[in-house]
Amino acid sequence: MKLRLSLLLLLGTLCLAAFQFIREPLTANLKDSATYRWLNKPVLESRVLDDMETLTHWHAFTTAGGEVVDARKVIKIVDDSEAVATMALDADRKHDGKQSLRMVTPTRLQGPAPKSGRGWGRSGVRRHFADEDWSSFNRISIWIYPDLPGFYTTALDFRLYNDGVEKLPALFGQEGETSLILRNHEWNHVVWEIGNVARDKITSFEMSYGLSGNTPDEADTIQFHFDQLELERVEPDKIEGWDVWPGRISFSHTGYQTGAAKRAIASNMTAKDFRLIDQHTGETVLTKPITQMRSHIGQFQVMDFSEVRTPGDYIVAAGGVSTQPFRIEADVYERTLWKALNFFYAERCGTEIPGVHGACHRDWTCVHGDKRMNINGGWHDAGDLTQGLENTGEIAYGLFTLAEKLKTQNNNPALFERVLEEALWGLDWVTKTSFGDGYRNGGSISSRRTNNILGDFDDIAATARNSPMTNFQAAAVEAIAFRVMKDTDDRLAKYALKMAEADWTFAVQGMASIKPSTEIWRGSFDSDNVQHELASQAILASVDLWKATGNKKYADKAIELSRFIVDSQQRSRTDWDVPMTGFFYTNTTKERIMHYCHRGREQGPTLALSALCEAFPNDANWMKWYSAVTLYSEYLKNLATYTEPYGVMPASVYTDQEYINVPESRKESFRKQVLNGVPLGKGHYLRLFPVWMDYRGHFGTILPQAQALASAAHLRGDLSSAQLSTQQLEWIIGKNPFSQSTMWGEGYDFPPIYTPSSGDMVGGLPVGIQSRAEADAPYWPVQNTWTYKEIWVHPVARWVWLLKDLAGPALVQGQADGEVTFVEARSKQKTTLSPDATGHFRTTLPEGTYEVIQKGRAQKQTLLPGGSYTLDLRTVSTSFDATQTTSARGEVTIRVMAQGSGVHKFSLRTDNLLLSAQEKVVTLKPGAITTLEWKAKTNSTNTPWVAVVVLDGDLLQRREVRGAAWEK
């Protein structure tokens, strides 16, 4: 029986599993998938490798702890009771010819499962070849019939072995392998393009199943049938490089918000003009010249149709090439939010999810001394079934921030209820996995299905940790849950707040024992040991608790910790050939620039400092926090120029000596990757993609950067930061060189994602596009493997959290004593509305810069996507702009041009400026523009300066000006 969320709120139960909403997960239109396109490619040439009429060249095997057991001799593993994979010819089930090859295997081996949480090994079959050269072919084709009784998900892996110049399997195990999700109990036609793989001396082709156990409703012995293994030659997919796939136009498949910048991109196109076509009428609504653009990454043709603001479905066409239909709409990203929520629902642990899994992992525990607790719940993490506070806490916090916004705006109750439902699922796990003394389940690895019986061979057990980072994460989730729930569920809200205060105390007590991390080569995996990361999370938790309680100790701690972030920033201009400023180091010693390899937390400093600015506007440190956010967001905007016209965020700056600190086996690759970056001078290089090894994929780095930009945009009122943040979303859902959406079930040509434990889930995102070997260009091969094509929850968590700041139009409301007109500066589009009888008005407007006109008075207002603005047009009769000039000697002139009426005070808040007077009082006369001027001197000519002009002490009425002595 389905229950409404309102009932859940009234009951206020923490036992969310008892009130599980059993719903069918969303399904995808598979005709829009890359798999459908692959299966329908014309085959130009083919060659049968094996028709499965003999076992002569086949070999069955089982691995246990990495050891291969030879099934040709019917060897048992460990003892005679443990059967390995077997194979035989089967004439009863075949796709072509007289028979197929049948492989039978248990789902696990006898004896205890590995303590690591992983499976027992793998079972499979291997076809041997006599050093064959497959270079003239680029695809493998085979038919597979899986027979796994009771199973929801049917996964199988392929692997090639090559003994030529380039060996396979490769060093990090990702080239020459792919993973499949198969439909159970039917023949599946599987094709795998291998044009990226060394294949000049093939020795084996392997198909294997991971021995990950089974749940009570799944069989403990399974089988696969294989038939008609062939080599094929087809027109290959584009898999590498910045140029757009020939014959395609790169665009945002989901579409564009009404007021957003709207661009599509092509390469090597000869057409001079492009057309924007209404999909439904076929009419051309816009014809414009194609703009030629050259940047660091190449030559492109750009089609800009930003001026089109009419909602509808459109197609871009040029030179005989056209896009699929996309949408222009006020809240075009809402549908991706519903799909992301579907993904989280499908990843729920501990409860039945139709078509994904049954009630799972009831024998998953965490141990703390002689205490033990069950820890299923929350969300599974990735292609495996791993669970942890870092992911579940991050998802829950992001969902609660979105729920808080939706609750405040009160214009989408259905989405609010659904977001809150999922957030509460996460809150339940966060609160239940604490032992109450600072120790909690931080996380544990799982790749296996279990029988839900405690105390037997397949149990998974984690050891509790007392971690300041996880306790601060928990405190932040619990504190924001209090804010969101206090009006609807007093009992639950009070319990969450009680837990938040306790977790915060444990975290503060544990901070004294933290030491800096020495493992820098993979990015930080232990956030406790990275100074600014821990400080950032502590500030967010402290600010949330201060908002909830008003207790000064939380404000004091947040302000105290802000110095670790501010003092970790490069505020002065570097002495490199290409100078930079504004980036962060990992700590105040400034020994290592902050960067990550596949999962970033780069949003932390900006979110923390923005939260401080919003919470404590009158603190003496406010301008230091504000300027740090400004410098960092300008740094990111500067980096993005290197990847125009995509605007996807480059990774970071690296030094040519960092390789010294990495393990020996990775040193040379690390060094080469750095040197393949953009030279900046003095041994520094800008990498467009992260430097990485086995963990690859950059959505987890660009989305945190996008979060930082979006947060900075709303603090600064900076539309360009918000637009650049949006470009990261567009890259992920199609505006990339492959013109492929990477969110499964969204957009067009979405490829399979590595998800062997849970199957395909609408709304899932992979870890992200990678680069090949030591190169620094996009690489997106057809093969489907970890980690870059692995489904992880953290990119989807970032997506949801980011859309809190970017999704939808701006909400504008306030008071007026007559008709109000908003005129958008670029399009000149007018929106006129009348207030109600009380003088109140409320509307939504697309992002943009507007002139707000009422009774002949005009003022400028920048509106950001997803923003909320309150205007009092009855009393605000003043508008102003600010400009600056800076000399090479650091002499600064700030001018304010104001118009209106009455007496007003303008004050300056500054960083790196010396002023004789910070305030000026002026009497404005109607119809006249009055200019105020400040003369100042920079404290350091080698450091940018930032100033904020404030009208009448109201920070909501401010203008930012900034400059540097070296800028023209």
pLDDT digits (tens, 9 = 90+) for 771-824: 999 999 999 999 999 999 999 999 999 999 999 999 999 999 999 999 999 999
Query: Got the DSSP string for 368-414?
Result: ETTEEEE---SB--SSS--EEHHHHHHHHHHHHHHHHHHHHH-S-HH
H or E stretch covering 820: strand 820-824
609, pLDDT greater than 80: yes
Q: 610 pLDDT band (50/70/90 cuts)?
A: very high
Give percent of the chain with pLDDT exceeding 70. 94
529, pLDDT greater than 90: no
> Are the C-beta atoms of residues 482 and 503 closer than 8 Å to each other?
no
71, pLDDT greater than 60: no
pLDDT at residue 855 in the model: 86
Instruction: Find the range with the poorest average confidence among 384-388, 470-474, 774-778, 947-951.
Output: 384-388
Q: 3 pLDDT band (50/70/90 cuts)?
A: very low
5, pLDDT greater than 90: no
Per-residue DSSP letter, 569: B
pLDDT at residue 517 in the model: 54
Report the alpha-carbon distance of residue 951 to residue 949 in Å, rounded.
7
Peptide bond into 645 cis (omega under 30): yes
pLDDT digits (tens, 9 = 90+) for 140-168: 999 999 999 999 999 999 999 999 999 99
Report the alpha-carbon distance of residue 733 to residue 765 in Å, rounded.
10
Report the alpha-carbon distance of residue 72 to residue 835 in Å, rounded.
84
β pairing state of 86-90 and 67-70: unpaired
Residue scoring higher pLDDT (168 or 1) = 168
122, pLDDT greater than 70: yes
Single-letter amino acid, residue 269: M
> Are the C-beta atoms of residues 485 and 494 closer than 8 Å to each other?
no
859, pLDDT greater than 90: no
Between the CA atoms of 317, 319, 320 and 326, what dihedral angle is there, to the nearest 10 degrees? Answer: -20
Does domain 879-963 match CATH 1.10.760.10? Answer: no
Peptide bond into 169 cis (omega under 30): yes
pLDDT at residue 530 in the model: 67
pLDDT at residue 916 in the model: 86
> Are the C-beta atoms of residues 339 and 418 closer than 8 Å to each other?
no
Topology of domain 810-870, CATH: Immunoglobulin-like (2.60.40)
Domain-by-domain residue ranges, the chain? 42-233, 255-329, 810-870, 879-963
Report the alpha-carbon distance of residue 420 to residue 300 in Å, rounded.
43
Instruction: Find the range with the poorest average confidence among 82-91, 144-153, 633-642.
Output: 82-91
Distances (CA, A) of 924 to 42, 451, 860, 901, 955: 74, 77, 17, 4, 20
Report the alpha-carbon distance of residue 727 to residue 735 in Å, rounded.
8
Q: In the beta sheet, which residues pair with residue 514?
A: none
pLDDT at residue 173 in the model: 67
Q: 876 pLDDT band (50/70/90 cuts)?
A: low
Does domain 255-329 match CATH 1.10.10.60? Answer: no
521, pLDDT greater than 70: no
Q: Of 3.30.565.10, 2.60.120.430, 1.10.260.40, 3.40.50.300, which CATH number belongs to 42-233?
A: 2.60.120.430
Both tokens assigned to 366: 């965490």
Question: String of b and e for 384-406 (b: at least 16 CB within 10 Å)?
Answer: bbbbbbbbbbbbbbbbbbbbbbb
Alpha helix stretches (DSSP H) within 743-868: 793-806
Q: 70 pLDDT band (50/70/90 cuts)?
A: very low
Per-residue DSSP letter, 388: E
pLDDT digits (tens, 9 = 90+) for 276-298: 999 999 999 999 999 999 999 99
Equal fold, 42-233 vs 810-870: no
pLDDT at residue 526 in the model: 45
What is the value of pTM for the model shown?
A: 0.95
pLDDT at residue 425 in the model: 97
14, pLDDT greater than 60: no
CA atoms within 13 A on the CB side of 144: 24
Mapped to the 3 state alphabet, what secondary structure does 219-252 carry?
CCEEEEEEEEEEEEECCCCCCECCCCCCCCCECC
Report which of 255, 259, 273 is spatially closest to residue 307, judged by C-alpha positions: 259
pLDDT digits (tens, 9 = 90+) for 550-592: 999 999 999 999 999 999 999 999 999 999 999 999 889 898 9
Radius of gyration over every alpha carbon of the chain, rounded to an integer in angstroms: 29
The mean pLDDT value of the chain amounts to 92
| Average pLDDT, integer, range 406-434 | 96
